[in-house]
């Protein structure tokens, strides 16, 4: 019988020696917002955590990369020299020491990317995928739903069909003219056209996008629209109300024939407590790239599980956000979907080995160490003025 000495498998600290961020420019996808972003705008950033052991971890942040760079300057005295193998302790230190600087804003978003990168490092150092480090893998693959913008009814087939032909069997349509044109008949025609294009057996979800600026509707619109969506076998109704209207969300969930989803604009686990305890959601959708990272996301997901609420991640915005969501999806028993934005170069165009669907329309969850994906420096360099800070050792 072989005896294993614990002293032989312990790991010495790996110290953070630098954290760098680069903004992504040039191919920011349309968001469907009333004030639309331009391709040259930065709304996403990539983060690299460099260590004294030569291991680099990568993360993603959902905000302007220039804000992330400024956030790193503020956080540097707190993270420099810290042990990169302790993601939860290190990022909680960052949270606890910056409450008074704007909890939930740029610093929280920036910490999200740092935390993702630290989990990536921990996986690489231990040679295990993040999902296993989170407690175990419930699945080795998961179904992505292709996230697409709504258009006029006559264009919905053009929007959905190319992705159905690629093998997607689940879709979410959102934003665009839905609700914003103040035309209930148009809303119905958009959904009818989308269901026809997706096919009767496809999963189809609807995102009103009520976190848009000056959303024009309230509870009564959401109730009427939920009834209409029920006629088309819609899997959930997302962001049906303004993001702070918790009382209305609670009522809508009670009366809606379709499940109610939301939570992508909330940050830190504490913000989710009233929404879960009061029963505002059937599906909760924290975004790992702004909620506080994997450390926060997993606590929110387990809390949701205890309240009977399904957790589906919202880290769709870059390939690293998707990679984090895939690892999280492997670690929770009920997480059977991940969001996957259709046609974004920041997802499809920055990895050495891009994500591919299998014959069943599923994504394999990487079993390699860390997040299990590898950025391609040349590809990343197409979308940022200088990608070298991510890759300099």
**Averaged over 21-29, what is the pLDDT?**
88
Q: State the Cα–Cα distance between residues 169 and 207, nearest whole angstrom.
A: 17
- pLDDT tens digits, one per residue of 363-377: 999 999 999 999 999
Kindly state the percentage of the chain with pLDDT values over 70.
Answer: 95
Statement to judge: residues 21 and 63 lie in one domain:
yes
Q: What is the pLDDT of residue 1?
A: 53
Residue with tokens 């910490």: 111
Statement to judge: residues 217 and 91 lie in one domain:
no
Least-confidence region, from 12-21, 101-110, 134-143, 324-333:
101-110
Residue 177 or residue 39, greater confidence = 177
Q: What is the pLDDT of residue 89?
A: 98
Statement to judge: residues 13 and 146 lie in one domain:
no
Statement to judge: residues 191 and 223 lie in one domain:
yes
Q: What is the pLDDT of residue 83?
A: 98
Q: Is residue 1 part of a domain?
A: no
If you average pLDDT over every residue of the chain, what do you get?
94
Please state, as a whole number, how many other Cβ atoms lie within 10 Å of the Cβ of residue 89.
12
- pLDDT tens digits, one per residue of 48-99: 999 999 999 999 999 999 999 999 999 999 999 999 999 999 999 999 999 8
Containing structural domain, residue 285 = 136-371
Q: State the Cα–Cα distance between residues 71 and 86, nearest whole angstrom.
A: 21
| DSSP-derived 3-state class of residue 200 | coil
Statement to judge: residues 227 and 343 lie in one domain:
yes
Question: Residues with Cβ < 8 Å from 237, sequence gap 6 or more?
Answer: 206, 208, 222, 225, 226, 229, 256, 258, 259, 260, 261
Residue 224 or residue 37, greater confidence = 224
Could you give the number of structural domains in the chain?
2
Structure tokens at 366: 């990487």
The length of the chain is: 393
| DSSP-derived 3-state class of residue 271 | helix
Judge contact between 94 and 297, C-beta under 8 A: no
Statement to judge: residues 79 and 190 lie in one domain:
no
Question: Residues with Cβ < 8 Å from 342, sequence gap 6 or more?
Answer: 146, 147, 148, 163, 168
pLDDT confidence band for 11 (50 / 70 / 90): confident
Q: State the Cα–Cα distance between residues 64 and 42, nearest whole angstrom.
A: 5
φ/ψ (deg, to 5) at 369: -60, 145
- pLDDT tens digits, one per residue of 27-47: 877 666 666 678 777 889 999
CATH of the domain at 26: 3.30.390.10
Q: Where are the beta strands (DSSP E) in the chain?
A: 16-23, 45-51, 56-61, 141-149, 170-174, 203-207, 237-238, 260-262, 283-284, 310-311, 337-341, 363-364
Residue 54 or residue 2, greater confidence = 54
Q: What is the pLDDT of residue 2?
A: 54
Structure tokens at 278: 């009061």
- pLDDT tens digits, one per residue of 148-165: 999 999 999 999 999 999
Statement to judge: residues 266 and 148 lie in one domain:
yes
With the C-alpha atoms ordered 197, 203, 204, 209, is the resulting torsion angle positive or negative? negative
- pLDDT tens digits, one per residue of 289-315: 999 999 999 999 999 999 999 999 997
Statement to judge: residues 113 and 153 lie in one domain:
no
Structure tokens at 158: 């053009």
Statement to judge: residues 241 and 142 lie in one domain:
yes
Statement to judge: residues 29 and 57 lie in one domain:
yes
**Averaged over 319-335, what is the pLDDT?**
97
Q: What is the pLDDT of residue 42?
A: 85
């Amino acid at each position: 019988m072989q005896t294993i000495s614990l002293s032989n498998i312990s790991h010495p600290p790996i110290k953070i020696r630098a954290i760098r961020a680069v903004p992504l420019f040039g191919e920011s996808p349309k968001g469907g917002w009333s004030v639309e972003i331009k391709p040259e705008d930065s709304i996403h950033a990539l983060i690299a955590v460099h260590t004294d052991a030569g291991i680099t971890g990568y993360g993603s942040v959902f905000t302007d990369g220039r804000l992330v760079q400024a956030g790193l300057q503020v956080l540097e005295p707190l993270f420099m020299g810290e042990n990169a193998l302790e993601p939860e302790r290190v990022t909680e230190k960052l949270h606890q020491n910056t409450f008074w600087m704007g909890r939930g804003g740029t610093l929280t978003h920036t910490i999200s990317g740092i935390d993702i990168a630290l989990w990536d490092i921990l996986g690489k150092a231990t040679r295990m995928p993040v999902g296993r480090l989170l407690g175990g893998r419930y699945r080795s693959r998961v179904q992505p739903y292709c996230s697409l913008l709504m258009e006029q009814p006559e264009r919905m087939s053009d929007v959905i069909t190319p992705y159905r032909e690629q093998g997607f069997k689940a879709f979410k349509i959102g934003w665009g003219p839905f609700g914003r044109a103040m035309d209930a008949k148009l809303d119905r025609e958009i959904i009818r056209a989308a269901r026809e294009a997706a096919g009767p057996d496809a999963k189809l979800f609807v995102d009103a996008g009520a976190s848009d600026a000056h959303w024009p509707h309230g509870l009564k619109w959401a109730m009427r629209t939920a009834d209409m969506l029920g006629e088309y076998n819609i899997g959930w109704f997302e962001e049906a109300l303004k993001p702070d209207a918790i009382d209305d969300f609670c009522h809508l969930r009670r009366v809606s024939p379709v499940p109610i989803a939301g939570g992508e604009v909330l940050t830190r686990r504490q913000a989710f407590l009233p929404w879960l305890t009061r029963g505002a959601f059937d599906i909760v959708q924290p975004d790992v790239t702004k909620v506080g990272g994997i450390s926060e996301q997993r606590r929110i997901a387990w809390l949701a599980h205890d309240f009977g609420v399904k957790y589906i991640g919202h880290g769709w915005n870059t390939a690293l956000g998707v990679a984090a969501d895939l690892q999280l999806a492997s670690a929770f028993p009920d997480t059977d979907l991940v969001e996957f934005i259709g046609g974004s170069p920041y997802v499809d165009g920055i990895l050495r080995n891009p994500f591919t669907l299998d014959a069943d329309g599923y994504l394999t969850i990487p079993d390699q160490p860390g997040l299990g994906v590898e950025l391609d420096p040349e590809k990343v360099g197409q979308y940022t003025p200088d990608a070298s800070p991510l890759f300099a050792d």
